Chain A
Amino acid sequence: MTETLRPQVAACPACVAAPSAEAIAASAAPKEARLALSVPAVHCAACISTVEKALAAVPGVHSARVNLTLKRALVEADPEVDATPLITALEGVGYEAHELDAGALSATETDKAGRELLMRLAVAGFASMNVMLLSVSVWSGAEDATRDLFHWISAAIALPTIVFSGQPFFRNAFAALRARRLNMDVPIVLAIVLAVATSLWETSLSGEHAYFDAALTLVFFLLAGRYLDHRTRAVARSAAEELAALEVPRAILLRDGQEHQVAVSEVQVGDLVLVRPGGRMPVDGEIAQGTSEIDRSLLTGETLPVFATAGQTVSTGEVNLTGPLTLRATAVGKDTSLHQMAELVAIAESGRSRYTSLADSAAKLYAPGVHILSALSFLGWLIYSGDMRTSLNIAAAVLIITCPCALGLAVPAVTTAASGRLFRKGMLIKDSTALERLAQVDTVVFDKTGTLTAGTPELTNLSDHDATALQVALGLAEGSAHPLSQSLSAAARAAGVEPAALTDLREVPGYGAEARWGNKQVRLGRGAWVGAPSGTISNAMTVAWLAIEGQAPVPFTFTDRLRAGAAEAVRDLQAAGKEVLLMSGDTSGAVEALADRLGIQHWMAEALPADKAARIDHMTQQGKKVLMVGDGLNDTAALSAAHVSISPASALDAARVASDIVLLGGDLTPIADALDTAQSATKRIRENFQIATLYNVIAVPIAVIGLATPLVAALAMSTSSITVSLNALRLR
């Protein structure tokens, strides 16, 4: 599965002119494989060198470099090297690693838009420093020819810089005007253009005031805000893409009796597809051959594996547990039930856009206000003094002074700080308004299977069995890859049980495992298969029966293991006064047992996907702000219907897409912290708007009465921007 990443040079046409070290290396050894591995546990200087050394020791590897920010290792190696030995090498030194699909990652390999913004920011920064240098001389008393010379040099620096650096604003403003709307960029562009135009006019008349420095600093501060905003979103996007890249989408196609590994997109209706035990169904289909059990928990929330045999239909995303299955594909790609569900989500998503972010509501007030104010002061001065030049100067000063430097930084500075803090705790904010919405939450709804529980069974009645039964059961369990068997053998091994010596051990897919123990036949598996009495154990329990020939079958009962931090998360949320609910597609017995265990009072069992969504809609209509935490396909509608939603990284792709926040670790504890962080972030954003408004209340009258000089504008602009950024940093 060696994927060859394209060398980075191709992504950036400008880089061709100045080839980087990598480009030279790539051209020297053109047939080199580049592999990307996700190493989530790497976090310190020692980890970096351990991982790099371990990778470099693998034969065929040329170089390995860890990117700590992305928690990724990039390996350059001989073309025949694939990811498996690398992953084994890392596991040998104690780091879990996963191969990343190069195709899904290539989009984030070079963040072109980010670099472009950074370059414009840098140009604006250097230009404004130089112009500021000249402006300070003017303010400190340069006169006549010297002043004119300084102004002309400033103009020569400022004009090309604004043409280059201001492009993002020009583009956005133009797009908004074409759609007959006003956005934040329209007043910005107007201010920049008017400032440059009046300054040029002033300079040509040997005037005293030129605003070149103000126009440049304005562009610089605003670009800084844009870049912060972009960076937050780029980090979230690349991590989200990494989750998608973890699922390398492949299927095993059976053609003329031969197995071919192909991309899922190449499978066609009618093809025969082999799904090995442990594999996920790549397409919707009908079982043509084989018997097994399938785990449908991600789709329906059921914990119990379902028996599957020829003729039965299966859906994409279900997991095959015990025996190999051959499917005849009935629906592929966009027609699969999984994809259709994802499209329903997309429709539900569009309904959510009704939420207006704080920044948008501020811009709605701000943009027309500024235009009216500036036009009024222009008209007022034109009537009062009759002088076009003075009036235009004052109109430009008003626009520059009110220009939303602080407003432009107010939101991105805070969201960057807050997202960074949550990312360090293992939460990924996907949506830019998710923090604001999270701050309003008063009700939290949890899904059961895969969210509060880890989806892995745990043996509950080990002590009920005698030593012989345990030894036989362990012997049988070790011969099977079924989750129940694995859990049983782990529990028995931990209790110090030695497996009985069994012969003729074989797994009967879909039923269980059987063997001979001395001269007796022994079986571990489904009740009906081993001849267990029906109805003795409640349906809520997951059971595997052990039958030793000549003895009555004995049950091994399992419960679903709690996810790490589930109890703490529920307790913290309840302590913070949030209402906590449990909704699951599982049977009421299982749901009630879990609700009791966690102290959740309200629960809902056997809920269909539509029921969950309807219940959340109902709560929303009652004025509640619901946070939905879920992982399955049956939760996606509910995730989209909720005010804000969280899904764990183990969730199905569709569920992650539908949610605003993804929990990267297995732990649920950060959820309560996230609510706190979101509330303080929203508070900071409001404070920032207040600071920006306060500054405008003081500065605007000065500009309107014509007392604003370029020096006042520069001072006011910088102080307000710096105050706002410092206030945001308090969140870290």
Chain B
Amino acid sequence: MEILAYLIPISLFLGGVGLAAFVYTVRSNQYDDPDGNSQRILSTEYDDKPKS
């Protein structure tokens, strides 16, 4: 059962990482245009660098 000493912190940490990632996506307005995102993926114009 000593394995629990590793597994529990790891599971909590991974959950925390997921939450932090989600918080980041909300803060950077990534849920503002769901319809647009689903259409933009079909666009044939590839951008070589991220939009500034």
Contact = CB atoms under 8 A, between A and B. Distances in A.
Interface in B10-52: 11-12, 15-16, 18-19, 22-24, 26-29, 31-36, 39-43, 45, 51-52
Contact of A20 (B1, B29, B33, B41): B29
Interface string A102-129: 0000000000000100110011001101
A126 B33 contact: no
A25 B52 contact: yes
Interface string A84-109: 00000000000000000000000000
Contacts of B41: 45
A133 interface: yes
Contact of B39 (A44, A122, A130, A134): A44
Interface in A65-101: 66-70
A728 B11 CA distance: 34
A25 B28 CA distance: 13
A122 B36 contact: no
A20 to B, nearest CB: 5
B36 A153 contact: no
A48 interface: yes
A181 B47 CA distance: 57
Contact of A122 (B11, B26, B29, B40): B26
Nearest to A12: B27
Given A67-B32, A69-B34, A146-B4, A119 B39 contact: no
Contacts of B34: 69
Interface centre among A8, A70, A126, A133 (most CB of B within 10 A): A126
A8 B1 CA distance: 50
B15 A129 contact: yes
A149 to B, nearest CB: 8
B13 to A, nearest CB: 10
A18 B11 contact: no
B31 A49 contact: no
Given A21-B28, A45-B43, A49-B43, A123 B33 contact: no
A425 B36 CA distance: 17
Contacts of A18: 24, 27
Contacts of B18: 126
A68 B33 contact: yes
A130 B12 contact: yes
A72 to B, nearest CB: 9
A362 interface: no
Interface residues of B, number: 30
Contact of A126 (B4, B15, B28): B15
B23 A122 contact: yes
A63 B47 CA distance: 14
Contacts of B11: 130, 133
Contacts of B33: 67-70
B8 A66 contact: no
Given A18-B27, A118-B31, A123 B36 contact: no
B15 A130 contact: yes
A138 B35 CA distance: 42
Interface string A9-26: 000101100101110010
A14 B4 CA distance: 36
Contacts of A25: 52
Interface SS majority for chain B: helix
Interface string A123-150: 1001101100110000000000010010
A126 B42 CA distance: 31
A63 B51 CA distance: 9
Nearest to B16: A126
A135 to B, nearest CB: 13
A25 B1 CA distance: 52
A48 B32 contact: no
A727 B16 CA distance: 33
A48 B36 contact: yes
A49 B43 CA distance: 8
A149 B51 CA distance: 48
Contacts of B23: 119, 122
Nearest to A46: B43
A685 B1 CA distance: 49
Given A18-B27, A146-B4, A68 B35 contact: yes
Contacts of A63: 51-52
Nearest to A43: B39
Contacts of A67: 32-33, 36
A45 B33 CA distance: 13
B1 A68 contact: no
Interface in A467-503: none
A66 B19 contact: no
Given A18-B27, A133-B11, A45 B19 contact: no
Nearest to A127: B15
B1 A48 contact: no
B22 A122 contact: yes
B15 A146 contact: no
Given A49-B45, A118-B31, A122-B26, A66 B12 contact: no
A46 B45 CA distance: 10
Given A45-B42, A122-B23, A130-B11, A20 B28 contact: yes
Contacts of B43: 45-46, 48-49
Given A44-B39, A45-B42, A20 B19 contact: no
Given A8-B29, A122-B19, 4 more contacts: A22-B29, A118-B31, A122-B23, A130-B12
Interface of B: 1, 4, 8, 11-12, 15-16, 18-19, 22-24, 26-29, 31-36, 39-43, 45, 51-52
26 contacts: A8-B29, A14-B27, A15-B27, A20-B27, A22-B29, A25-B52, A44-B39, A45-B39, A48-B36, A48-B39, A63-B51, A63-B52, A66-B36, A67-B33, A68-B36, A68-B39, A69-B34, A119-B23, A122-B19, A122-B22, A123-B19, A126-B22, A127-B15, A129-B15, A130-B12, A146-B1
4 closest A-B pairs by beta carbon, nearest first, are A68-B36, A45-B39, A45-B42, A68-B35
